[in-house]
A = this chain, B = another copy of it.
């Protein structure tokens, strides 16, 4: 690719992946509402508020691909979620439609299906079951991506991300952990396949205790290599076993199911 846009590039995920994805394009265009720091060799920095339609239109112009980590990534008040994740998604897809339909990686979330019990195995055809306003905004985003694919041909990899961490650190992310290496290899596959479509992919490593079945998107050729079980002995030694009725044990979305509605 000539130019790959990464939104949310100043966030926890974005600040790691701007380094790890630099080989994917001649130029990385990095955007965030927060401080992006110094530009590295092949980076260009474009601060942007995703709820500003004109700004997003300019941001997308000239890009061949988009990795969309921008927006709010935890629960928040309705006005924050709506601006960042609902208006923001609409603006991004309108821009993509108007500027050559670059392929998009959309950071959706396990919180789109967070109210499923942990004992239930899910695949790409599971109905959504969001656990928060944040989760609802991700369902909105998935629906928008689906419509822009069916109607306008914009291709999106909808990634229901589990827990991107250096290593797993507790019961729930024994199942949800996604290593950086595996996430990078997924993004590489998304931009390498001749035809992407608009698949739903669960973003988790090859964890022994995984909940999610990606076999329906096998055509992408993505095979995660890491396994949270490598860290099990260490975690079980350091972490008390949570009670059987803790939200972190009952539901795939964990603690998100236990939060109320945030006031503005």
Residues on A lying within 8 angstroms of B by beta carbon are 78, 82, 86-87, 90, 94, 97, 112, 115, 118-119, 121, 125, 127-133, 135-136, 139-140, 143-144, 146-147, 150-151, 171, 174-175, 192, 194-197, 199, 207-211, 213, 215-223, 229, 232, 236, 241-246, 249-250, 257, 261
Q: How far is the CB of A215 from chain B (nearest CB, A)?
A: 6
- Which residue of chain B is the closest to A251 with respect to CB atoms? B150
A-B contact pairs, 20 of them (CB 8 A): A78-B90, A115-B147, A119-B197, A130-B143, A131-B151, A132-B147, A135-B147, A136-B143, A140-B143, A150-B257, A175-B219, A192-B241, A194-B241, A195-B244, A208-B222, A209-B218, A210-B218, A211-B218, A213-B215, A223-B229
A208 to B192, CA, bound (A): 14
Known contacts A121-B216, A219-B211: A194-B147 contact under CB 8 Å:
no
A241: which B residues are within 8 A, CB to CB? 192, 194
Residue of B nearest to A155 (CB): B244
